[in-house]
Amino acid sequence: MALTVLSLALFEVGDYSCTARAPLAYSADCKHVAVLTWGLQGALGSDIATVKVRHRYSPFAKTVYSGSGWSDSPDLHDTNPQVRWIDNKHLLIRYSVWTGYDQRCLPQAFGVEVICDHLPSQFVPSAQP
């Protein structure tokens, strides 16, 4: 029994060490929180991003976005996906579409409407002469 508990604890610590979290994004009335996190998929793979919504003082959150993503900065606007509150009840999640990756964005959680929008492609085809 103790070995099982120790194994699970080490798995969680190892998983946590490969996870990054952006600063919490509070709704305008501070009643809800959006939490953006990234976890490493592998040395050659892209990061896995999740966005969870919860009530401010609740430990229970619902995942409203999961899929490929990245971050070069702790600023929420220099990430993929981008997370921004429009008002107290509307959360905007903008993300790039990655072929070959399963990306999901749910329309609501805890009375918050989630607006899912695709970012324009970062790759522009070169002009043919």
Q: Tens digits of per-residue pLDDT, 12-36?
A: 434 444 566 777 899 999 999 999 9
3-state DSSP call for residue 13?
helix
Q: Tens digits of per-residue pLDDT, 37-94?
A: 887 655 445 578 899 999 999 999 999 999 887 766 555 556 788 899 999 999 999 9
Helices (H) and strands (E) in the chain, counts: 1, 11
The residue count for the chain: 129
Query: What one-character DSSP code corresponds to residue 77?
Result: G
In this predicted structure, what is the pLDDT of residue 2? Answer: 58
Q: Tens digits of per-residue pLDDT, 119-129?
A: 876 544 444 44
**Contact of 93 with 116, CB cutoff 8 Å:** yes
